[in-house]
Chain A
Amino acid sequence: KQEVTQIPAALSVPEGENLVLNCSFTDSAIYNLQWFRQDPGKGLTSLLLIQSSQREQTSGRLNASLDKSSGRSTLYIAASQPGDSATYLCCGAGSYQLTFGKGTKLSVIP
């Protein structure tokens, strides 16, 4: 059974800092890995999707990597902004089921 762990559980940084969110998963037979953002009381917004054959994806200030052999993914956020404050969820996909980590709650302080 796939398990996804996210470290840290919470992170507070000053505006402008670069930061890395970490995710590890137990089953390397992952189909793809997807990072989501969730604002309080809202749904999930997809940030980046990495297929199992890929090693990274980039969108604007966001870069996500995937290392299946070590069971790790990272989400890099460059030049953080207060609007980046949210909970970030790492999710492993396979067999029509997403396995979620518990998330990293990010606060970017102006």
Chain B
Amino acid sequence: DAMVIQNPRYQVTQFGKPVTLSCSQTLNHNVMYWYQQKSSQAPKLLFHYYDKDFNNEADTPDNFQSRRPNTSFCFLDIRSPGLGDTAMYLCATSRDDRGYTFGSGTRLTVV
């Protein structure tokens, strides 16, 4: 089945230790997104790629970076995780702006 796959499902990292989360898709969607969702809150958009064009949200901390080496893969890099970065990270895709498909998420815990 076509889908959005996130790895790992769970990640524990130490304060300040860089971590990378991955997302892959078989939908051939041109847009990929990263959302951060903290406990009991709505997901918050960090950035998105329209094809190869990177679009950062104004309030996304510099500590968060992203790479999209090809259509299928997108990575979220957190350079120096803080305790406040503990959250669920959700990857989503869309064909232009027409409906979104989310992955199962990566639950990140910073200790």
Residues of A within 8 A of B (CB): 31-32, 34, 36, 41-46, 49, 51, 89, 91, 93-98, 100-103
* Distance in Å: Cβ of B59 to nearest Cβ of chain A: 13
Tell me, in angstroms, the Cα distance from A94 to B96 when the chains sit together. Answer: 10
Interface majority SS (helix, strand, loop, mixed), chain A = strand
Q: Cβ of B99 < 8 Å from any Cβ of A? A: yes
Question: In this complex, what residue of A is CB-closest to B98?
Answer: A32
Contacts of A44 in B (CB 8 A): 43, 90, 92, 102
Residues of B within 8 A of A (CB): 6, 31, 33, 41-43, 45, 48, 50, 55, 88, 90, 92, 94, 97-105, 107
Contacts of A43 in B (CB 8 A): 6, 88, 90, 102-105
Whether the pair B50, A96 counts as a contact (CB closer than 8 A) is yes
Whether the pair B97, A93 counts as a contact (CB closer than 8 A) is yes
Question: In this complex, what residue of A is CB-closest to B50?
Answer: A96
Tell me, in angstroms, the Cα distance from A45 to B104 when the chains sit together. Answer: 8
Contacts of A102 in B (CB 8 A): 41-42
Contacts of A94 in B (CB 8 A): 97
Contacts of A96 in B (CB 8 A): 31, 33, 48, 50, 55, 94, 97
Cβ 8 A contact of A45, one of B31, B41, B99, B102: B102
Whether the pair B105, A42 counts as a contact (CB closer than 8 A) is yes
Question: In this complex, what residue of B is CB-closest to A105?
Answer: B40
Whether the pair A100, B42 counts as a contact (CB closer than 8 A) is yes
